[in-house]
Amino acid sequence: MKGKKMISITGHYNEFTVFLAVIVGILASYTALDIMSKMMKKQRNNYLWLTLSAASMGIGVGAMHYIAMLAYYVPVSFHFNAVLSVIALIIAISGSLGAFWTFWKWGTSVWSGLILGSSILGTHYIAMAAIETEAHIHYAVLSVLLSIIIALVVAFYAMHLFFRSKSVKANPFLKLVSSILLGIGISAMHFISMYGMKLHIEHSVVRRWGQWLPYQAPFSNMIASITITLLIVFLLVAAFKRQEEVRDSQLKEEYYQSLFNYNPNIVCAVDLYGNIQTINPKGIELTGYTLHQMEKIPFPYMFREAEKAEEYMWKSLSGDSVYYEATLIRKDNQPVYVEVTQMPIIVHGQIKGSYVIAKDVTDRKKAQQQLLDLQEDLKRTLSQQDGAIFKFVKNDEGYIHTMCEGKMIREMGYEEIDVVGKTLEEFLPESYAKENKRYYEKAWAGEKVSYEVLLNDFAYYTKLIPHIYKGEVKEVIGSIVDVTDLHEAREKLAKSESMYRSVLSTMSEGVVFHDLEGNLIAANAYAAKILNVPYDQILSVNPFGLDWEIIHPDGTPFALEDIPSVRCLRTKEPVRNTVMGIYLNEKKLTWLSVNAEPLQESKYYKGVVVTFYDITKQQEQEQDLLHSNQQMIIAKEEAEKANQAKSEFLSKVSHELRTPLNSILGYAQILEEQGEKDLTEKQLNRIRKILKAGNHLLYLINETLDLSKIESGHLAINLEPVSVKEAIEDALKIMKPLAKDKHSILYTRFHAYQEVFVEVDELRFQQILLNLLTNAIKYSPAYRDITIYTEITQHHVTILIEDRGFGIPASELNRIFEPFYRINRLEKDGTGIGLALVKQLVVLMNGTCGVRSEEGKGSTFWVRFPLVHPPVPKRLSSEGEAEPFLGFSMPTSIVYIEDNDTNIELMQSILSPYKNVKLLVAKTGENGIGLIRSISPDMILIDIDLPDMNGFEVCTQLQLEKELKHIPRVALSASAMQSDIDQAFLVGFSEYVTKPIHISTFLNVLKRLTKA
């Protein structure tokens, strides 16, 4: 600058821009402190609020400085260094972050104010340093010092006021004052610093005012707008979160109010003088007073024990929580026993009163009194019992008796005073005391002890039970019972056992007795002989630990749980006639028939008695017989398959033969009826021969179909009374070999052995039982039992056959009685007609049948027949002369759905003589339905076999349409199978006419259905 003339220049402030700068400073301060207040509540996302408050403060401080600098207009050009500007903004944000974090963590306004003031100063002077201009800037030292003092003092005092607002129940006024103070202080610091700033410039570079002024106002306004907008967004976010907090606070208040109002105990607040300030509804209900009335009664005087209650009240008002029991006196002077918990109410470190919670324990007090009464009553009862009960404990003197009650004490010659408080040595003879002491020591060691004592020709049974608490014996409870009669009975039993042993030794069967652990108690000599064990060693054999190889009749080994004695112990039921093969040595296989019967004393099981005898020869004979029966069953199953194939073949042949016969006999009937006028006698005779031959052929077809009537439900049966029990027993005899082959046992369980009768065909009834039993055996694994039993009600008997086989999946239960249906996953031979045959026979004999099953556990098939039968209605004979047809009396429209031209022509020929009958033909089901919808005829004739859909489907669709379902429908089919007939009536056909048609009968059917 040497040699150059420097001049000092001054500028002036834009008042509006200065105002904007101050507003930005205040708004930034308020936004930062407002967001900071959320963080102080220790909620979640505190670091987010800390960052937002620091950003608000830092951005506001930075923006305020730049707006304030742009508010100062000077006649020189200048611009800001970008790097220093960014550094200034970073210092503003990071300094604010540090100040707020310090305030949050340690709550100190000194350090947080110092950090905040320093960041404001740093931001200001770095921002000033960012100004680049041809003018030279100088600062007055006094202004700089004053700006530093103002920044630090204002920041400290603002944080101190904010801290006060947090400690004085969130005072919004103090927060607002803090914000205004901080914003104005930041502005004052800036403008004082700017006041001390001097600009010097060479005279040659001075420019006119208009060269630089235009851009400053818009730029400062833009900064202010962006900053204010950003701060408002921050405030809105904070306000939104505050609203959520208010809602949460209200909800919590409602929770607390509900806890107060609906508390099942008395809840009230007491002030420092013992006056009740508030009480919940339960308290008003329980005391009988209103709140206004209770305000006049000091809290302690609500209780019978007023002094005690007052003492505890003052203790709680001194800062302690207390608990005590007292008697509350209601308004009606009735006592209420309560448990009282009283705790101090502390607000900002000062005790303001106490909370009281009083729980009504009147019922419990009454129960305790009842318990005391019961204890007294129990003591009186014990003193009157035939035996005796006593207790003892152990101390340095020995075993001291603490209680003794019962008649037996007096019978033994003692009184309660002689025993209670005494040791054994003090009231028993020395020898008895010594013997009893040995048992006392065991009981005190934690054992349960039982023993008998003979005293003065009487036998006494004593039992000692230790009372153990936390691993230590606290006392021992003893009981004494007079067992003199039992002692005498034992002596008699010993004599009788000696007699039984001699009886056992003479039996021709092997007999052994063993206990629950398998230890042999007794055995006869024949058992030792059969088992090839020396008699003097037989009692050392344990059937639970045998190393013999034991097999079933099919060669599979016996599992331990299947051994009769083990199974008898497990089920508590007798086990009968179990066949077991035992290799007593490597080569010799001995077959035994074994029975096991549980040994029971009173209701307790003590062991099992097992009897067995050698059946080796019988078993070999039964194996031969079983093989023969298997061959018979295989032959039976093959015959069933052939019979089913025959039925299907006959059904097919019947259908194919009836179709042409329909035309032959139909046209022959028309010719016979019309030929009486137009044909010669010779021609009529020939037509009659055609009719005769055709009817004969039809008769042969019907006779052939009788072979398959079992499937169609028209099998002829002979109903007569049959005994259910005898029928079951006969069936079991037949099935026994098959069951043995599967190692299954057939059990029976008759209803109270009641003899009942059902009206059935005896042969077919037997066939039902055999089929169900065969099915149960066939589809059960080996060694599974099968049970047949009855359930009898007032009018019916139900026969149930229960197996433990593979079970039937629930998805297949509905189809199990269908012909030829078999469960895919079971690889068993069969035709699938057995159950279908059962169902058809049961229905024919006025019964019902069904099944319930659980996969993996087994199935139960049942049949039910009435015990009292209604008279069987006589069926009308289909033979004889048909009723003569006299014609239609009213116009009748008929739709005929048929695809066979010959049949169509035949129908047209049959109806052509009747002028008031209009026949309309459709050759497909779809066309027929359309035609019926269009004209709504009086009658519909439907052939079952149609090219696009069958007649059943056509009828079903018509049945679904409200306008068409009332029209009579007649099925015409060459199939005479009962299943087709049943299905036709099921889907809604009015009549089912089989081909070939008997014209007169057919016309009468039409007339009856059309009511023409």
Q: What are the b/e assignments for 687-721, b being 16+ CB within 10 Å?
A: beebbeebeebbeebeebbeebbbbbbbbeeebee
The model's pLDDT over 717-742, given as tens digits with 9 standing for 90+, comes to 778 888 888 888 888 888 887 778 77
The CATH fold of domain 892-1010: Rossmann fold (3.40.50)
The label of the residue with tokens 């009157």 reads 384
The model's pLDDT over 487-509, given as tens digits with 9 standing for 90+, comes to 777 777 667 666 666 666 667 68
Q: Name the pLDDT band for 750 (thresholds 50, 70, 90).
A: low
| Bridge partners, residue 197, by sequence | 139
Q: Lowest mean pLDDT: which of 90-94, 201-205, 260-264, 456-460? A: 201-205
State both tokens at 612: 């067995």
Most confident of 224-228, 561-565, 697-701: 561-565
Domain 385-482 part of CATH 3.90.420.10: no
The label of the residue with tokens 């047809």 reads 885
Of residues 189 and 639, more confidence is placed in: 189
Whether the pLDDT of residue 480 is over 70: the answer is yes
- The C-alpha angle with vertex 798 and arms to 795 and 801, in degrees rounded to 5, equals 175
The CATH fold of domain 263-366: Beta-Lactamase (3.30.450)
Whether the pLDDT of residue 25 is over 60: the answer is yes
Whether the pLDDT of residue 941 is over 90: the answer is yes
With beta carbons less than 8 A apart as the criterion, state whether 954 and 970 touch: no
- For the chain, give the longest Cα–Cα distance: 165
Q: What is the pLDDT of residue 555?
A: 81
The average confidence (pLDDT) of the chain is: 77
Of residues 197 and 363, more confidence is placed in: 363
User: How many residues appear in the chain?
Assistant: 1012
Give the residue among 539, 780, 741 at the shortest CA–CA distance from 622. Answer: 741
Backbone angles phi, psi at 479, to 5 degrees: -135, 145
DSSP state letter for 436: H
In terms of Cβ atoms closer than 10 Å to its own Cβ (0-12, 13-18, 19+), residue 859 is: buried
Q: What is the pLDDT of residue 554?
A: 80
The label of the residue with tokens 């197996």 reads 803
Q: What is the pLDDT of residue 907?
A: 87
- Cα–Cα distance for residue pair 234/240, rounded to 1 Å: 10
The model's pLDDT over 238-287, given as tens digits with 9 standing for 90+, comes to 667 667 666 766 777 777 778 778 888 889 999 988 888 888 898 888 88
- Cα–Cα distance for residue pair 803/735, rounded to 1 Å: 14
| Bridge partners, residue 896, by sequence | 921, 941
Most confident of 51-65, 662-676, 892-906: 892-906
DSSP helix/strand/coil, 586: coil
Q: What is the pLDDT of residue 699?
A: 43
Backbone angles phi, psi at 61, to 5 degrees: -65, -45
DSSP helix/strand/coil, 830: coil
Whether the pLDDT of residue 1008 is over 80: the answer is yes
- Cα–Cα distance for residue pair 218/776, rounded to 1 Å: 101
The model's pLDDT over 32-79, given as tens digits with 9 standing for 90+, comes to 777 776 665 555 556 767 777 777 777 777 777 777 777 766 776 667
With beta carbons less than 8 A apart as the criterion, state whether 534 and 559 touch: no
Whole-structure pTM over 0.85, yes or no? Answer: no
Backbone angles phi, psi at 835, to 5 degrees: -70, -35
Q: What is the pLDDT of residue 707?
A: 40
- Cα–Cα distance for residue pair 927/92, rounded to 1 Å: 91
Q: What is the pLDDT of residue 874?
A: 37
- Cα–Cα distance for residue pair 591/619, rounded to 1 Å: 7
- The C-alpha angle with vertex 1004 and arms to 1003 and 1005, in degrees rounded to 5, equals 90
Give the end-to-end CA distance of the chain in Å, rounded to a whole number. 137
Q: What is the pLDDT of residue 871?
A: 39
Q: What is the pLDDT of residue 848?
A: 93
Q: pLDDT > 70: what percent of the chain? A: 76
Q: What is the pLDDT of residue 706?
A: 43
Whether the pLDDT of residue 940 is over 90: the answer is yes
- Cα–Cα distance for residue pair 866/799, rounded to 1 Å: 12
With beta carbons less than 8 A apart as the criterion, state whether 26 and 184 touch: yes
Q: What is the pLDDT of residue 126?
A: 81
Q: Name the pLDDT band for 322 (thresholds 50, 70, 90).
A: very high
- Architecture label for domain 507-707: 2-Layer Sandwich (3.30)
Q: Lowest mean pLDDT: which of 128-137, 474-483, 687-696, 871-880? A: 871-880
Q: Name the pLDDT band for 481 (thresholds 50, 70, 90).
A: confident
Q: What is the pLDDT of residue 171?
A: 56
Q: Name the pLDDT band for 872 (thresholds 50, 70, 90).
A: very low
Q: What is the pLDDT of residue 342?
A: 92
With beta carbons less than 8 A apart as the criterion, state whether 786 and 745 touch: yes
With beta carbons less than 8 A apart as the criterion, state whether 312 and 322 touch: yes
State both tokens at 881: 């002369």
Whether the pLDDT of residue 117 is over 70: the answer is yes
Q: What is the pLDDT of residue 327?
A: 92
State both tokens at 373: 């009464």
Whether the pLDDT of residue 968 is over 70: the answer is yes
DSSP state letter for 967: S
Q: Lowest mean pLDDT: which of 274-288, 635-649, 905-919, 942-956? A: 635-649
Respond yes or no on whether the N-terminal peptide bond of residue 866 is cis (omega within 30° of 0). no
Whether the pLDDT of residue 870 is over 50: the answer is no
Backbone angles phi, psi at 336, to 5 degrees: -130, 120
Domain 716-868 part of CATH 3.30.565.10: yes
- Cα–Cα distance for residue pair 57/91, rounded to 1 Å: 11
Give the residue among 116, 114, 110 at the shortest CA–CA distance from 36. Answer: 116
Sheet holding 520-523, edge to edge: 520-523, 510-515, 604-614, 589-601, 575-583, 549-551
